[in-house]
A and B are shown apart, each in its own frame.
Chain A
Amino acid sequence: MKKFFETVVEKILMVSGTITSLTIILIIVFLFSQATGLFNSSVVEENHSLVVNSQNRVQTLTPMQIKDIFDQEITSWIEVGGEDEDIIVFRFSDITSYVSEEELGDEFQFIPQVMSKIINENPAIIAFLPDQYLPNPTDGTRVMDCGDITLGDFFGGEEWFPTAQPAPLFGVLPLILGTLWVSLAAILFALPFGLAGAIFLSELASSRVRSLLKPIIELLAGIPSVVYGFFGLVVIVPLLQDWFNLAVGETALAGAIILAIMALPTIITVAEDAIRSVPRTIREASLALGASKFQTIVKVVIPYAVSGIMAAVVLGIGRAIGETMAVLMVTGNAAVIPTTLLEPVRTIPATIAAELGEAPTGGVHYEALFMLGVILFVITLVISITVEIIASKRPKQIM
């Protein structure tokens, strides 16, 4: 009977372990499968095409060029390798300024013919059309082949503008840099305080002070991030705006400060554990040689605990990189490559949270957001592997 019971418990444990692992793998597979479509998608918005006169010498355009043309930053074909002619931008809604509504037919059945006529009359035109209204390609018109979104466009692109028409821009550089800026700055702020806190708690504080402070610090880790964000928005953002005389206080610096506060409990707790796990006899050995308490801490205890402290730092970075809500609330979310900490930035998690709701399921934007998720996953994976490696290098005593 007892044996049977133990077998059952064993099986239950095995099943729950397997389910957990499978779920995690499933999530990763899902993430990747949702993201893979991105690089097979056309540069131009789905089910739409760019049509030009067949005389036009320009064969292809990059997403950036398309955006600039439609924003009228580029006004002559010569700038993109064509004739010295002013570009005529044509959006589908412009059609009524060329012809009357009657000419389109009752069910818009004449639109393709009308379009080929317009394009033939205006050799310098570039028309952005839904695919069902494309003119007959033999009529002196040509659909411009802009190809698919490339890895270079995605990882090297400097603009994130997923709702741009006709070609959305998915340059993740500003997002990756924004994430790294905010996270690294946060760690730079959090590290000295975290280390100081850990040393104070483990070495200097009396046991009464420690038993009072430690739960409070651990409690900080449990505060929902939206509350931190709220605090940042109401307190830190106006403060920064005042101090640095900024137009807007929602900056990378505000995000870094909030993240530093949020990463502190992790850093302090893990580093304190590492420092406290330094064997007592190591401290005693140092003191017995006539070293002062401070010399012992700096020269013996911290070097001994350095791998644990590193792990604390990397875990802190991990926490900072993945943090979404608080950052979303205080960083201003401008997808621009940051040059100083006093500018608004947008991070990867914040982008996903803010945009996933309005990205149509299965669309390019949706896939791009999942690709951001993949990037984030890879970054955190690298971080946890680093932690593993560092932690496995803990000094071991032969005894």
Chain B
Amino acid sequence: MSIIKASDVDFYYGDFHALKGISMEMERNSVTAFIGPSGCGKSTFLRLINRMNDLIDGTRLTGSIEVEGRNIYDKKIDVDTLRAEVGMVFQKPNPFAKSIFDNIAYGLRVNGVKDKAFIEQRVEESLRGAALWDEVKDKLKKSAFELSGGQQQRLCIARALAVQPKIILMDEPASALDPLSTAKIEDLIFTLKSDYTIVIVTHNMQQAARVSDKTAFFYLGELIEYDDTKKMFLSPQVEATQNYITGRFG
């Protein structure tokens, strides 16, 4: 059964019709990549899955998005609980002005965890999960700003892991990083797949091809094509997809 299911999603920023009739399903423990030119709506769609677009005034949604069978835009849904289940990693590393330890522990604390030993254990697990533990284990009390950009981004991933979400949304997580850090993040995505469902927005075709199981191509607010990544890259059904992937536009 699919973990995320969008049905006829239309989304508006004021008068701007940003997403047009999107319907798609994503499998548990899979990596789905969203590709498409800037402004095509892929990030917008990603941010609908944890209701991050609620923060923007004057937006409107029709249709439904279900996470594990529940419509997350239902009035009874508690947004904070939803977001604890659907984690997010952003385009630029955005650690809090706190120590490395407190950055990771934050998500647990705001969700009401008080047990110190448990928090310490989760912090270590999360940092290990994000392949950062060995680099920071001796300076957990240091400010997160002392880490390099790539380390900060892995810290942000660890921070998302700490609350044990079911889904992790990644909005161009490597776009601000150098090739080496990017490779580390991609390796990480590969390992995380066994425990989490990952949705990643990327501008980098090779990245989409490398990390994802399925790829969705968005263009002008529409979902043009959605299929297995291999099939998408080898034999796309739609001409626009073919043109975009081969770099003829976008």
The 8 A CB mask of B137-166 against A (1 = contact, 0 = none) is: 000000101011100100010011001000
Partner of A399, one of B80, B98, B176: B176
Specify which chain B residues have a CB less than 8 angstroms from the CB of A292 in the assembled complex. Answer: 80, 110
The digit string for B78-101, where 1 denotes a CB below 8 A from any CB of A, is 001111110110111111111000
Q: Pull 19 A–B residue pairs with CB atoms less than 8 Å apart, ordered by A.
A: A206-B57, A207-B57, A281-B92, A284-B52, A284-B88, A286-B96, A287-B55, A288-B83, A288-B90, A289-B159, A289-B160, A290-B81, A291-B80, A291-B111, A300-B96, A304-B97, A397-B95, A399-B93, A399-B176
Q: Which 4 A-B pairs have the closest CB atoms?
A: A290-B84, A289-B107, A288-B88, A291-B110
CB < 8 Å: which of A284, A291, A396 contacts B55? A284
Q: In the complex, what residues of A have CB within 8 A of residue B73's CB?
A: none
Contact A281 B145 (CB under 8 A): no
A373 to chain B, nearest CB (A): 40
Minimum Cβ distance to chain B for residue A279 (Å): 7
Give me the interface of B with A, judged by CB distance under 8 Å.
50, 52, 55, 57, 80-85, 87-88, 90-98, 106-107, 110-111, 143, 145, 147-149, 152, 156, 159-160, 163, 176
Tell me the minimal C-beta distance from B50 to chain A in angstroms.
6
CB-based A-B contact count at 8 angstroms: 94
Nearest-Cβ distance from residue B64 to partner chain A, whole angstroms: 21
A399-B149 contact, Cβ under 8 Å, with A288-B88, A295-B110:
yes
Contact of B111 among A288, A290, A397 (CB under 8 A): A290
Asked if A288 meets B50 with Cβ closer than 8 Å, knowing A281-B90, A299-B106, A299-B110, the reply is: yes
Interface residues of A in 235-294 (CB under 8 A from B): 279, 281-292
A224 contacts the other chain (CB 8 A):
no
A288 contact set on B, CB distance < 8 A: 50, 52, 83, 87-88, 90, 160
Tell yes or no: A303 within 8 A of B by CB. yes
The chain B residue with its CB closest to the CB of A208 is B57
Residue of A nearest to B162 (CB): A289
Q: Name the residue among A285, A303, A304, A306 with the largest chain B CB count within 10 angstroms.
A: A285
Shortest Cβ distance from B85 into chain A, in angstroms? 8
Task: State whether the Cβ of A385 lies closer than 8 Å to any Cβ in chain B.
Answer: no
Give the docked Cα–Cα distance between A207 and B14 (Å).
15
| B145 lies within 8 A of A395 (CB) | yes
Residue count of chain A within 8 Å CB distance of chain B: 26
Q: Give A395 to B111 CA distance when docked, in angstroms.
A: 26
Query: In the docked arrangement, what's the CA distance between A19 and B91, Å?
Result: 48
- A289 — which chain B residues lie within 8 A by C-beta? 83-84, 87, 106-107, 110-111, 159-160, 163
Contacts of A285 in B (CB 8 A): 88, 90, 94-96, 156, 159
Instruction: Please name all residues of chain A whose beta carbon is closer than 8 Å to the beta carbon of B57 when the two chains form the complex.
Output: 206-207
Bound complex: CA of A207 vs CA of B57, how far in Å?
A: 9
Q: Is B80 a contact partner of A290 (Cβ separation < 8 A)?
A: yes
Measured in the bound complex, the distance between the Cα atoms of B143 and A399 in whole Å is 15
In the complex, A318→B109 CA distance in Å? 38
A211 nearest CB across to chain B (Å): 13
Chain A residue nearest to B176 (CB atoms) is A399
Q: Which residues of B contact A300 (CB under 8 A)?
A: 96, 106
Q: Does A27 contact B (CB under 8 A)?
A: no
* Complex Cα gap A292–B90 (Å): 19
Contacts of B97 in A (CB 8 A): 303-304, 306, 395
Of A281, A283, A287, A398, the residue contacting B149 (CB under 8 A) is: A398
- Identify 16 new A-B residue pairs, CB closer than 8 A, beyond the known A284-B94, A397-B95: A279-B94, A283-B55, A285-B94, A288-B52, A291-B80, A291-B106, A295-B110, A300-B96, A304-B96, A304-B97, A395-B143, A395-B145, A397-B145, A397-B152, A398-B147, A398-B148
